[in-house]
Every structure is written in C-alpha cells, then in structure tokens.
A = this chain, B = another copy of it.
Amino acid sequence: MKTAIFPGTFDPFTIGHDSIVRRGLSFLDEIIIAIGVNDSKRTYFSSQSRLKMIEELYKDEPRVKVEAYDSLTICFAQQKGASLILRGIRTVNDFEYEKTIADMNRKISGIETILLFTEPEYACISSSAVRDLLKYNKDVVPFLPKGIVLFTEK
C-alpha cells in the first residue's frame, strides 16, 4: 500500500491544499494529512480547530487520514509506516525550499518527496493570504475547499 503524508501548518487548510490531496489520491492509496504543531509558533487557528476542520472535510473519504504531530516530519512519517511525502509547489521559491528539505530527508531517512504543481488558478492562494482577508472581515469562501466550516475556538 502506497501511503504518503501531506505535512503542513494548514492555518487554515485552503482550496489549494485540498486540490493537492485529491490529485494525490489518483496515484496514492492513502494520504495522511499531518498538521504540524509547534508550540513556539502562534497560529490563527488552534491545532484542535485545524484538526477538526480537516477531519470533517474528508469524513467521507476513507483514504484520507488527519493527524497532528510535533516532531521531525520524517520521524512522523516513519512512525506511520509512510515512505512518501507529498507536496505541492507553486513558485520558484517553493521549489528551492522544498528541494532543500527533500534532499535532506532523503539523505537522512530514504523517504521520497513527490511533488505536484499547484494548479495555476490556486497558485496565488496561501494560508497567510486567507488570514489577512479574515483579519479585515473579507470573504474567504472562494479560497477554501467547498464545504469546509471554519471553526474558531474562542
């Protein structure tokens, strides 16, 4: 069985992330969405909220699992029996960032990173852009996966 983890902060999970997961399912058997939790980094949505929102989104897709983790990505992958990491790349900057990490991960653990190009119409969408819009009470619905419910603990 080909299992890949799809790691990220997902603060929040966007329509771009969703697209990578759904396209990844066309050649992978299982994808574990791995929500990075880092206590020293403040997020807009708590890790609980992020977990709940993404789980809810994929509740009818048994091939997608959602977990939070607080360790090196490759250690989490190994612990889950996954030998693949899935990532989307939008820009040259992403390309170089991902390359450095992927080369390091392969060297240390043998884990492969598989890349998909983000679809052009989603390339300008990032979690930070969504957060900016939220701060100014703008509509973010076009930038989120269909059916996701933003869930903020207050």
Interface residues of A (CB under 8 A from B): 2, 4, 23, 26-28, 71-72, 75, 83-84, 89-93, 95-96, 98-104, 106-108, 112-117, 119-121, 123-126, 129, 132-133, 136, 138, 142
Asked whether A83 and B26 contact (CB < 8 A) given A92-B96, A117-B103, A138-B108, the answer is: yes
Interface contact B84-A27, CB-CB below 8 Å = yes
8 of the cross-chain contacts (CB-CB < 8 Å) are: A26-B84, A99-B117, A101-B124, A103-B119, A104-B125, A107-B142, A108-B138, A115-B116
Interface contact A71-B102, CB-CB below 8 Å = no
Residue of B nearest to A123 (CB): B120
